[in-house]
Amino acid sequence: MTDVRTDDHRPRKRVFIRTYGCQMNVYDSDRMADVLRPLGYGLAASADDADLVVLNTCHIREHASEKVYSELGRLRDAKSERRAAGGDLTIAVAGCVAQAEGEEIVKRQPAVDIVVGPQAYHRLPELLAEAERKAAIGRAGKRLPGAGVLDTDFPADSKFDHLPAPQGIRAGSAFLSIQEGCDKFCTFCVVPYTRGAEYSRPAAAVLAEARQLAAAGAVELTLLGQNVNAYHGEAADAAGAWSLARLVRAIADIAGIARIRYTTSHPRDMDDDLVAAHGSVPQLMPYLHLPVQSGSDRILEAMNRRHGRDLFLRLVDRLRAARPDLALSSDFIVGFPGETDADFDDTMRLVAEVGFAQAYSFKYSRRPGTPGAALDGQVPEAVKSARLAALQALLGQQARAFNESKAGLTVPVLFAETGRKPGQVVGKTPWLQSVHADGPERLIGRIVETRLVTGHANSLTGEIVTRSLEAAA
């Protein structure tokens, strides 16, 4: 969970945006802030000093959506207190819970003023105006014409056509959304329902935004999409349709862009050209998040992943042939319906065979409306917990070993923020590991040569090479 908060000046109104879930949501929260800025909304540091609170929600697992309802309970209390004191608090629910549950949210928590799906953020100004009108009617003692203002349509055109230019460069790094939605329909996943059909932004628009971000000081771009390597921007010239590989090469040609990353990928969409780009484009960082979910052919089939264990293992070989130091990350689900001990062993064997630099792993969470929720053979909670613990122990060992294997190297680190200890800065290696080093704040947003000294479970300790300190003076 991340909170968008900064404040340079005191605008007329303040919004606090709380972001749950994936990087797509982090990006969308920045875009909502961009939409609200012209209405006079600055960013508040917390809900306590906000006029408007937006919860940008995640629906991917059950506990993610339950957290939203408990937060809404707290906000309802805050709203009542404000009203008792003659003020008000506007509450908006955005993101995938908004999309999936729509009016249910207002029924369950009537204090909510606005429910807005991920495709409709450009309509926030209108929704706010309507919510304010309804609140005024309510204050005048008249019956409310239905609480809550709802927009969860999937419009024919893209929200990108309506949103203002992005401003979200953080310490030299920016997200660039190039693709949304998903047509894969994995049987456990809500994304095709909450984010809609797969859509690729035209390459010309993506490249224009990349140039704008570079001119504004971005040195690292992370290309975002729910299924980013399915990217197929419309044909812009004689060379035909744009693939992700072609887009990566074009972005690498933009002056100032030193690092390119992309996330999240599907193994089925890693074409030869993209694999080759990992070897031939130096700006493409040697890190790839490639969810596999399971190592069992039977479970992969039941998940509708459209590939087997062997395709994944061969793909890893091809990627490593192109880029031998590639760090691999993945997502895993344990306890999918019907998963036996033997299936789980297949997952453990796949992990042992590949060796991941880091990974995310989850217990299967039954999501209403997905085909998986209706399957027989739901796995008991205790079995899921035991499998998750075993998998995480192995993944944890691998992550530590990967970090330790980099000790002794001197590598470029992009510093992103100050550390917990005074005088410390924290940045990322090319393999997306966190590095803590003693150094001045002026290094934030810069790529600086750093000697990696010690690898830990989740990070490394480093020392900034003296000559890069001098160059940054």
Which chain residues interact with ligand SF4 by CB under 6 A? 182, 184-186, 189, 191-192, 226-227, 266
Least distance in Å: CB of 78 to ligand 5AD?
Answer: 31
Per-residue DSSP letters for 158-178? -GGGTSPPP--EETTEEEEE-
Least distance in Å: CB of 274 to ligand SF4?
Answer: 16
Q: Which of the listed partners (ligand 5AD, ligand SF4, none) does 333 bind, with a CB threshold of 5 to 8 Å by partner kind?
A: ligand 5AD
Least distance in Å: CB of 331 to ligand SF4?
Answer: 8
Least distance in Å: CB of 21 to ligand 5AD?
Answer: 8
Residues near ligand 5AD (CB under 6 A): 60-61, 188-189, 291, 293, 331, 333, 362, 364-365, 367
- Whole-number Å distance between alpha carbons of 181 and 297: 26
- Whole-number Å distance between alpha carbons of 424 and 422: 5
Least distance in Å: CB of 24 to ligand SF4?
Answer: 10
Query: Is the CB of 335 or the CB of 427 nearer to ligand SF4?
Result: 335
In sign, the C-alpha dihedral spanning 190, 194, 195, 196 is positive
Q: Which of the listed partners (ligand 5AD, ligand SF4, none) does 365 bind, with a CB threshold of 5 to 8 Å by partner kind?
A: ligand 5AD
Least distance in Å: CB of 453 to ligand SF4?
Answer: 37
- Whole-number Å distance between alpha carbons of 405 and 392: 20
Query: Is the CB of 15 or the CB of 299 nearer to ligand SF4?
Result: 299
- Whole-number Å distance between alpha carbons of 289 and 329: 4
Query: Is the CB of 213 or the CB of 333 nearer to ligand SF4?
Result: 333
Query: Is the CB of 18 or the CB of 195 nearer to ligand 5AD?
Result: 195
> Residue ranges of the alpha helices (H) in 93-202?
95-101, 103-108, 124-139, 191-194
The closest alpha carbon to 205, from 184, 229, 234, belongs to 234
Token duo for residue 161: 């056509």
Token duo for residue 333: 């689900």
The answer to whether 426 and 417 have CB atoms below 8 angstroms apart is yes
Own/partner pairs, 63-66, CB within 8 angstroms, 24+ separation: 63/365, 64/20, 64/21, 64/97, 65/97, 65/100, 65/101
Q: Which of the listed partners (ligand 5AD, ligand SF4, none) does 60 bind, with a CB threshold of 5 to 8 Å by partner kind?
A: ligand 5AD
The answer to whether 173 and 416 have CB atoms below 8 angstroms apart is yes
Q: Which of the listed partners (ligand SF4, ligand 5AD, none) does 367 bind, with a CB threshold of 5 to 8 Å by partner kind?
A: ligand 5AD
Q: Which of the listed partners (ligand SF4, ligand 5AD, none) does 184 bind, with a CB threshold of 5 to 8 Å by partner kind?
A: ligand SF4
Query: Is the CB of 227 or the CB of 398 nearer to ligand 5AD?
Result: 227
Query: Is the CB of 189 or the CB of 210 nearer to ligand SF4?
Result: 189
Least distance in Å: CB of 472 to ligand SF4?
Answer: 40
Query: Is the CB of 122 or the CB of 367 nearer to ligand 5AD?
Result: 367
Least distance in Å: CB of 120 to ligand SF4?
Answer: 20
The closest alpha carbon to 44, from 78, 4, 83, 92, belongs to 4
Query: Is the CB of 129 or the CB of 185 nearer to ligand 5AD?
Result: 185
- Whole-number Å distance between alpha carbons of 103 and 339: 35
The closest alpha carbon to 230, from 244, 245, 211, belongs to 244
